[in-house]
Amino acid sequence: MAEPVKQAVLKEEMEIRIKTRLRVLDNAIHKIKPRKRNDLSLRDIALYMPGIKDLLTEPREEEATEADFDFLRVDLPEYEERWKTGARQYLCDLAKRELDIDAEDPLALAIGSIFTCDLCSRSCSWPNILAHTCMERTQ
């Protein structure tokens, strides 16, 4: 098999494997805690939560099972809380800096509750900004 064809086949197999594992991950998460509107998206969990990306992309041939994601029962709530706290602090700091205000909680003010994504230019209000999963963002 020519090298470009071989690489295309390997890439397709990897994409299928990752999509299948993402469905298993999604099912496992829903059994732990059904996601609400402003919770982390599946994309954010898959890309940024420690350990998940490795499980999704590892080259093993056997299928992933929900048991492979059992560690999320403990890790997901902790990670989600850190993520929400970090996101809130980031947005507070951003509002204070960009609006040049000295409010204790700028997210409680009307002027500090609308944010525009630098990548896709979509406007989101607080706390709905937490659910924004920009398709332009790669990292």
Residue 42, pLDDT > 80, answer: yes
**Strand locations in 1-139 (E):** 114-116, 123-125
Q: What's the DSSP call for residue 123?
A: E
Q: What's the DSSP call for residue 116?
A: E
Q: What is the pLDDT of residue 72?
A: 95
Q: What is the pLDDT of residue 139?
A: 47
Q: What is the pLDDT of residue 19?
A: 93
pLDDT in tens, 107-118: 887 666 788 888
pLDDT in tens, 48-97: 999 999 899 888 778 889 999 999 999 999 999 999 899 889 988 988 88
What's the pTM?
0.72
pLDDT in tens, 115-132: 888 888 888 888 888 777
Cα 136 to Cα 139: distance, rounded to the nearest angstrom? 9
Flag the least confident range among 3-12, 89-98, 101-110: 101-110
Residue 39, pLDDT > 90, answer: no
